[in-house]
Amino acid sequence: MAEAPGSFPKTVAVVGLGLIGGSLALALRAAGVEVLGVDPDPAALARARARGAIASGATDLAPVADADLVVVAAPLERVADVAIAAARRMRPGAVLTDVGSVKAPVVAAVAAALPAGVRFVGGHPMAGNEGHGMAAADAALLRGRVFVLTPTSRTPPEAVAVMQAVITRLGMRPVLLDPVQHDEFVAQVSHLPYLLSLALDRAIADDARLVGGPTMQEMTRVARSPAAMWEAICRANREAILRALERFEGELAAVRRALLAQG
Amino acid sequence: MAEAPGSFPKTVAVVGLGLIGGSLALALRAAGVEVLGVDPDPAALARARARGAIASGATDLAPVADADLVVVAAPLERVADVAIAAARRMRPGAVLTDVGSVKAPVVAAVAAALPAGVRFVGGHPMAGNEGHGMAAADAALLRGRVFVLTPTSRTPPEAVAVMQAVITRLGMRPVLLDPVQHDEFVAQVSHLPYLLSLALDRAIADDARLVGGPTMQEMTRVARSPAAMWEAICRANREAILRALERFEGELAAVRRALLAQG
């Protein structure tokens, strides 16, 4: 039997033990939760076990059948498919969430294929660093950060209640947003900044880096995060990113006029 | 009598006790140097004295007559005039430097009006934060950072030697650059990033900030540093900044084509 609606999950399966999945697993275990790990890479499972992030794990989805809550932290381009496959093995009443960085297409795809009885709500913890994989995972990445939940009119309120309780227990801040609104916001605060960081990093000549101080370092940091992840994000959130880029270009033109106009 | 060429200065006058001047004063005193302070604001002098940044100070340039080395850390738009006024009171053989963020116009203006006997070399410590004034000064801002010196064919080698010794003593890294080359480099690593940070900060809608994580915070931090300082920098380094901006716009167009082209 699954947990009563809204009660705190005893067993959580984390599917995908990368930077975010691994950090969530570490934080959940530190909060006293039993964490089951799933990752296609046996080395990631071994690292997660060695670091105390998971109690046990598997390279297939078998563990999700034992979980009250399943968190799918697969790469964005696969997250909906993995969530649907996990949902098919979950017990009735269990809660399913994902941590994909773009929500509208993921939430629509999962909702369209969701088996009856599984309670799904999309999620997105606003955390990360330039690291990659379980090796870079760190519960401290999450503390104090916003964890967005994106319920729709079809989302069972109990799924939201369970996730709000979990998020709060991890020292994070739950924020509810419409999936489309989420995608519009993250285009502005995350995806656009990545594109600017990448273009800036390429615009700085190698010999100029010699005099680079903290501003250069912090403005080009995110450019060094995994390119494949960002390519998937740009594909999935193209329209919102283009709108954010257009706003930016208008502001840059105004800054240029104000500060660099012929004196 | 001034020090022998290249020897370490016993007494340093710091003119302008803002973020950078104050941080240099704190670092110099920590290195055992006698530091005299000059600032038109009596409150800045009082704060500097209270924090142990200066042994004594004045609101006029009188203290520079007692210094082996004078560091002018006035705002960029006044730094050349203040350096020239200081030079007229300095003893023969003493070394003069400044910390202006743009070097070619400052170095040319000071060199054109320099009294015989004063040894001038332009300087620029690549450090700072979003703070302002003596209250935000911190010797730790400087440690490990590059301190650019911009000698020309007219610069006495002893001025460079004295400054290299001081910079190294402060735990900073001396780098020699032609003034024009310096301005080209800082346009890329510092001034352009400021413009991008400012435009990005304005492009992010207020409600989107709710989901802003570390990337948004670090990409918009420098936008919050004092606007008047940046206006002066943009005026003084306009051409190099426009060249850097053009490089950036080319790179951004390429990033846009690669990541956001119609799939």
**Rounded Cα distance, A186 and A84, in Å:** 24
Residue A237: is its pLDDT beyond 90? yes
Sign of CA dihedral A128, A131, A134, A138: negative
> According to the model, what pLDDT value does residue B6 have?
52
Which domains are assigned to chain A? 11-177 (3.40.50.720), 182-260 (1.10.3660.10)
> According to the model, what pLDDT value does residue B261 have?
86
**Alpha-carbon distance B247 to nearest alpha carbon in chain A (angstroms):** 5
> According to the model, what pLDDT value does residue B263 have?
56
User: CA-nearest residue of chain A to B149?
Assistant: A211
β-strands B122-125, B119-120: how paired? unpaired
- Spell out which residues of chain B touch residue A184, defining contact as CB-CB under 8 Å: 208
B66 burial (CB, 10 Å; 0-12 / 13-18 / 19+) is middle
Rounded percentage of chain A residues whose pLDDT exceeds 70: 97
Q: How far is CA A174 from CA A16, A123, B116, in A?
A: 22, 10, 67
Name which of B120, B119, B10 is nearest B55 in CA terms.
Answer: B10
- Spell out which residues of chain A touch residue B238, defining contact as CB-CB under 8 Å: 260, 263
Interface test with A, best of B103, B207, B219 (most A CBs within 10 A): B219
**Rounded Cα distance, B179 and B104, in Å:** 5
**Alpha-carbon distance B21 to nearest alpha carbon in chain A (angstroms):** 17
Q: What is the DSSP letter of B133?
A: S
Could you report the per-residue pLDDT of A107-151, keeping only the tens digit for each? 999 999 999 999 999 999 998 776 789 999 999 999 999 999 999
**Rounded Cα distance, B223 and B217, in Å:** 10
- Spell out which residues of chain B touch residue A190, defining contact as CB-CB under 8 Å: 211-213, 215-216
A143 at B interface, C-beta within 8 A: no
CB contact under 8 A, A182 and B211: yes
pLDDT band at A3 (very low <50, low <70, confident <90, very high): very low
- Spell out which residues of chain B touch residue A244, defining contact as CB-CB under 8 Å: 203
CB contact under 8 A, A244 and B209: no
> According to the model, what pLDDT value does residue B131 have?
75
Q: What is the rounded average pLDDT for all residues in chain A?
A: 95
Residue type present at position B140? A
Q: Which two tokens stand for residue A141?
A: 């990445």
B86 half-sphere exposure, CB direction, 13 A CA radius: 34
> Mean per-residue pLDDT for A64-73?
98
Paired with A98 in beta bridges are A72
CB of A43 within 8 A of CB of A65?
no
β-strands A146-150, A122-125: how paired? antiparallel
DSSP H helical segments within A59-156, as ranges? 76-87, 104-112
Interface contacts (A, B; CB < 8 Å): 186
DSSP annotation string for A108-119? HHHHHTPPTT-E
Instruction: Write down the ipTM of this complex.
Output: 0.89
User: CA-nearest residue of chain B to A142?
Assistant: B213
Interface test with A, best of B189, B222, B233, B257 (most A CBs within 10 A): B189
> Mean per-residue pLDDT for A201-219?
95
Q: Note down pLDDT in tens along chain B; length 263 residues.
A: 444 445 799 999 999 999 999 999 999 999 999 999 999 999 999 999 999 999 999 999 999 999 999 999 999 999 999 999 999 999 999 999 999 999 999 999 999 999 999 999 999 999 877 678 999 999 999 999 999 999 999 999 999 999 999 999 999 999 999 999 999 999 999 999 999 999 999 999 999 999 998 899 999 999 998 899 999 999 999 999 999 999 999 999 999 999 998 75
- Spell out which residues of chain A touch residue B234, defining contact as CB-CB under 8 Å: 259-260
Interface test with B, best of A200, A233, A235 (most B CBs within 10 A): A200
Q: How far is CA A228 from CA A198, A223, A235, B251, in A?
A: 13, 12, 11, 19
**Rounded Cα distance, B108 and A202, in Å:** 31
B194 at A interface, C-beta within 8 A: yes
A250 at B interface, C-beta within 8 A: yes
Residue A12: is its pLDDT beyond 90? yes
> According to the model, what pLDDT value does residue A5 have?
47
